[in-house]
Structure 1
Amino acid sequence: MPRVVPAVIRALDVLELFLDRPELSAREVIERLELPRTTVHELLVTLVDRSYLIVVPGQPVRYRLGMPLFQLGAAFAGRLDLVREAQGVARDVGAACNEAVHVAVRDGADVIYLVKVDSTHPVRMVSAVGRRLPAHCTAVGKILLAGLDQASLDAVLAKGPLPGMTPESITDPERLRAHLDQVRAEGVAADIGESDSAMRCVAAAVRDHSGATIAAMSISAPIIRWTPQAHLEWTELVREGAATLSARMGYLTRPR
């Protein structure tokens, strides 16, 4: 097996410290990585020489990330393909639950389904890639609406009355706002017969490198298979699937 290069690992450790701090001093790097002073000095000098770090004058001298890291990140982001990546993750999630899995994006007050993986059960959800539905009636749509800032959500809700698809649909804007607060707190959304009385659905957010919600992933099943235990299992599974897709889209969980 090829061996890893310790000096490269340490340099990457230094750069990753800046994921949650805009600037760091040499002393802070030493304390957080528990490396010798000489080693840290050599790493910082090398990274500055290659412009991966920039010196911020002051007492003490501090460092911040340089332009080459932005260029590398931009090159990575430019090669990401949401649909391609979503198809692979959705297939894995579908294989784990044998229910329909969707990935959707928002278009105004609606959602559009980009990816669908079918269940092999004879009784399953009827849907199609490209289908458009009112966002507030679907689990994926609630996730996407919950990801909006207040002004953007106001703009969506100002477009007119909220149509209902079933008697369970939320059509009152203020009730929807309260419901979206709950979605944000829980990190998942459910469609309890709101788009189709015979179906149930749970969804989670897909995020990009900036942490913005760019899509939502869902698991959908007929009410006859939607047991309390299945609901719990599928909620965790869709969380994991959305997190996997988010990671492929460049999202990094920030260190606490």
Structure 2
Amino acid sequence: MSGPQSVDRALALLDPVADAAGPLSAKALARRVGCSLSTVYHLLGPLTARGYLIRGPQGYAPGPRVPFLHRSFQRHLGAGTAVAALLPHVRRTTGAEAYFTAYRGGRITVIDTTAPLTDSQNPFVPGLETRAHATAHGKALLASLSRAERRRYFAGHGMARLTERTITDEERFEAEVASVRQRGLAVSVGETDPAYTCLAVSLPGRTDHALSVSLPLADFRRRQGEITSLLTLAAAAFPAASE
């Protein structure tokens, strides 16, 4: 096995390792990617040597090269020191978890967040956002696109119903993004998770970047005005051209 197929198989090994709760054995990886054990060992060698994976007594886990890639990923999408300072500030002032999200190349990605990695209850986590139609940050970013661009986006990602509040109709979503543009604020009340609300605003001069917060629905109902004001002020103070 060589060429593109080999590269594809090697990359396919990284996903189950990343998704697993703990290390995975070579045999488990072979079952998950559907190839022979000898092929898996052949591919694990260079991935381990280059630091993308590490091998321990229990199996394979993400390696020391991964944090470097993540930092590089953040930097390329505009999450520099200004964002690193912004998110904790928003967390302190609002008492809600804060997020930085970007649109690029037809994809929406949560780049960084103040939510602890151990918070398994929080429905908004770093990584590719496949539920943009149901999240405030997704609405804020999609509102900056043309209708034709939104149609292309949804042709590739769909509009799955996640809760009874989720908007799954294109015309209703168009009315929603029109409201987002008018108010300068996107809100998702229980559309992704019935227990959570999120609010988002675009950053100054960067309609492809969004700042958002999430909080339990009960807290939102009690503090809606306060949270909206604090989020808007934080975004307005962000430099229009960050590193």
Give the letter for the 2:187 counterpart.
Answer: A
Structure 1 counterpart of 2:211: 217
Equivalences, count? 167
Is 86-95 or 157-166 further displaced after alignment?
Answer: 157-166
Give the letter for the 1:137 counterpart.
Answer: A
> Is 1:181 matched with 2:174?
no
The answer to whether the 8 Å contact 2:134/2:192 transfers is: yes
Q: Distance in 1 between matches of 2:181 and 2:137?
A: 13
Deviations 1:130-158 (A, max 9, x none): 25332111000000000112332232234
* 1:145–1:167 CA distance, 2 compared to 1 (3 A): same
SS at match of 1:168: coil
Structure 2 counterpart of 1:234: 227
Matches within 5 A, 1:16-165: 81-106=78-103, 111-118=108-115, 125-130=122-127, 132-159=129-156, 161-165=158-162
* 1:87–1:174 CA distance, 2 compared to 1 (3 A): same
Q: Distance in 1 between matches of 2:134 and 2:209?
A: 16
* 1:110–1:169 CA distance, 2 compared to 1 (3 A): farther
Shift of 1:111: 2.9
Give the letter for the 1:245 counterpart.
Answer: F
RMSD, aligned α-carbons? 2.9
Give the letter for the 1:111 counterpart.
Answer: I
The answer to whether the 8 Å contact 1:108/1:156 transfers is: no
Q: Distance in 1 between matches of 2:128 and 2:122?
A: 13
Task: Give the gaps of 5 or more residues in structure 1.
Answer: 1-77, 251-256
The answer to whether the 8 Å contact 1:101/1:217 transfers is: yes
The answer to whether the 8 Å contact 1:143/1:204 transfers is: yes
Q: Which has the larger radius of gyration?
A: 1
Give the letter for the 1:219 counterpart.
Answer: V
* 1:227–1:182 CA distance, 2 compared to 1 (3 A): same
Q: Structure 1 vs Structure 2: percent identity of aligned residues? A: 27
SS at match of 1:225: helix
SS at match of 2:180: helix
Q: Distance in 1 between matches of 2:190 and 2:135?
A: 9
Give the letter for the 2:217 counterpart.
Answer: I
* 1:220–1:186 CA distance, 2 compared to 1 (3 A): same
The answer to whether the 8 Å contact 1:93/1:241 transfers is: yes
* 1:161–1:227 CA distance, 2 compared to 1 (3 A): closer
Structure 2 counterpart of 1:245: 238
